[in-house]
Chain A
Amino acid sequence: MSRIVLEGVTKQFADETVAVNSLSLDIGDGEFMVLVGPSGCGKTTVLRMVAGLEEVTDGTISIDGEIVNDVDPGHRDIAMVFQSYALYPHLSVYDNMAFSLKYRKTPKDEIRRRVGDAARILELEPYLQRKPRQLSGGQRQRVAMGRAIVRQPRAFLMDEPLSNLDAKLRVQMRAEILKIQQSLNVTTIYVTHDQTEAMTLGERVAVVYHGDLQQVGTPRELYRRPANRFVAAFIGSPAMNLIKARLVQSPEGSRHVVEFGSHRLALPERTFDDNPRLAQYVGRGVVLGVRPEDLEDASLAAHPDPQAIIELTVDLLEDLGSEVDVHCSGDLMQDTSDVVGEAADGSADELAQKGRAGTVVARMNRHTKLGVGDTARIHVDVGELHFFDDDTGETIAD
């Protein structure tokens, strides 16, 4: 059993900055847990605390029920894969992988067996006698993984292991890592800033921001039911459109409406019944969230809802081949808070935010005939709308 439990884990550095704020997480045996968040959010610090490389200021970390706060990293029976791979430059691939085993007095044939197995799984057999500098980035990454596998540890800790690879290789290695983890069934904590990686790899994903755990759940849960606008904007690419809006109650029989700028959308009929909290926000400002993939060229929509169409001007088209990302602008106000900025494009940059204000991104069917400057009639899937409290950022739901 290699269950890892973090309870109220806090990390405060000497200069009073709080990197991790009372984070609690329960990782099951054999689970692949991804910690994701923008740079500097504290996810790596959490990983290093589990490894024992950073001291825990407050809270406890336990592995297999045993509290390991004061246990030496070398004795926690965990293996770590570093972003920089941390391969010993003066040792061969074989020696790199055998290194820790030698120090744990493992018998020679056992070492040979384990390294051989790992080398086979990772297709490193032809390179065993080479030195790291003679290997490509991808090969080095695999050696780093091999070093961890050979340890047969209770848990794998991976710190952005794929960040230094080019895009194609990254996609390839992602699948490899998943396969390996599933076949070995070792508890894994994987840190990344790339939400795509998180979504494809994680059994469960923990979103971290500014040292706080924002939400933990399966990728599907995070996508469909984000807990707050940070998670909403962070998960999914292109990022969810977050627009300042007002809810309007319509008289009995008609559908309620959400207005933003000069646009209005009719909400599905049972909206306030299904979500009573939302009803309390009538007449108040809310933040409306709609994903680009839920916006479509009205002329190509399968079953268009005539009360769910808005008109915007096309500014820019990004033709991806499989679909077209259409950037439009209209009389509306995006949520330009720092939180959203950091979630959407990793920065709270003012210029980027200015550029985003008033812009909506729609992911349309590749057959759309829209061009720059056109007035687009955009159909909104109002069943997939999200609402957030403008002050707290929390999702308005039960």
Chain B
Amino acid sequence: MTATVTDRSARAPSHRSRRRAGPLARRRRRAGILLSIPAIVVVLSLLFIPIGQAVYYSMTTWDGITSTWIGPQAYVSVLHDPTFWRVLENNALLLLAVPFALGIPLILATLLNEHVRGWRVFRSVYFLPTAISWVVIGVVAVQFFAYNGLLNHLLALIGLGSLRTDMLAGERTALLALGITFIFSMIGTNTIIFLTGMATLDPALLEAARVDGLNGRQVFLHVTLPLLRRFVQFAFVITVISAFSALFSLIFVMTNGGPGYGTTTLEFFVYQSAFSLGQFGTAALYGIILFVIMAVVGLVQLSVIRPEDGSSW
């Protein structure tokens, strides 16, 4: 039974291929749809539809009782509202905390990466503040920044007693206090991210740099950091997103948005508009603006990180 075939036979198949999916593929498809329906339903009904509704509300002046349609004009008029800019300004100022929220963890991660004895204990400790509620941190922070609080005590200790203030009483200083507390909370998360990133670095690369003559600092700046780029980007995005949307509890407990509009950020203002001022339309409007900002941040992240990765899906 020896078939004699040339080793360069024709490429094209003899008939057009039939496209009807076989039984296995059909079973797989059906199972796939069934299994993913719960998640789709949840996300659709509780996330996507509400966003749509929020867009609708944002274009009205609804106060819970009566509602007047404004239309897209609402987004234009908000640009003329000084409150909007004040609120946005607060968010922008908070963003100044981001470099610190990244830099300190970077240093800590580098230290931890040396694997000094007991480093795992230290790692656990650094992450602890992240595990507890912002409410709790806020409560402690209030005491820390108070007139009789620890901060002022420390200042007095090092001779700067004259600087003694109640930080939470001034608009700008309250924001500063908020920022500091924010940094404190983000340290844990980002340290873990960077530490994990460093663990994935191939030590051979660092050794090669050493052999090529670079000193410690140069290795860090020119080899380690570039290799950590993805992790830094990730931490950056998480931190920025947190700065925009995770501070609610902190603000609620520490300053309730005050004094004045001092610590009223975008996300807090949404809550305030709706439940303190009863302006649901406005609240929805700010909510959508917040969403758009987050979406932009997210999209920017995707487009910046993707090209290096190659396709992962």
A residues with CB within 8 A of B: 8, 10, 12, 18, 21-22, 26, 52-53, 55-58, 69-73, 204, 209, 212-217, 221, 225, 227-230, 339, 392-395
Contact = CB atoms under 8 A, between A and B. Distances in A.
B5 A213 contact: yes
A248 B7 CA distance: 26
Interface residues of B, number: 23
Contacts of A70: 22-23
A21 B4 CA distance: 15
B43 to A, nearest CB: 29
B35 interface: no
Given A8-B14, A18-B11, A22-B13, A73 B24 contact: yes
Contacts of A209: 7
Interface of B: 1-15, 17-18, 21-25, 27
A215 B13 CA distance: 19
Q: Which 10 A-B pairs have the closest CB atoms?
A: A393-B7, A392-B6, A55-B22, A230-B7, A57-B17, A228-B7, A227-B4, A217-B2, A12-B17, A394-B6
Given A55-B22, A72-B23, A392 B17 contact: no
A190 B8 CA distance: 25
Nearest to B27: A72
A315 to B, nearest CB: 28
A71 B23 contact: yes
Interface centre among B7, B17, B18 (most CB of A within 10 A): B7
Contacts of B9: 21, 212
Given A21-B13, A55-B22, A72-B27, A221 B7 contact: no
Contacts of B11: 18, 21
B1 A339 contact: no
B24 A228 contact: no
A10 B17 contact: yes
B22 A69 contact: yes
A58 B25 contact: no
A339 B10 CA distance: 15
B18 A394 contact: no
Nearest to B25: A55
A26 to B, nearest CB: 8
A216 B23 CA distance: 31
Contact of A392 (B1, B7, B18, B21): B7
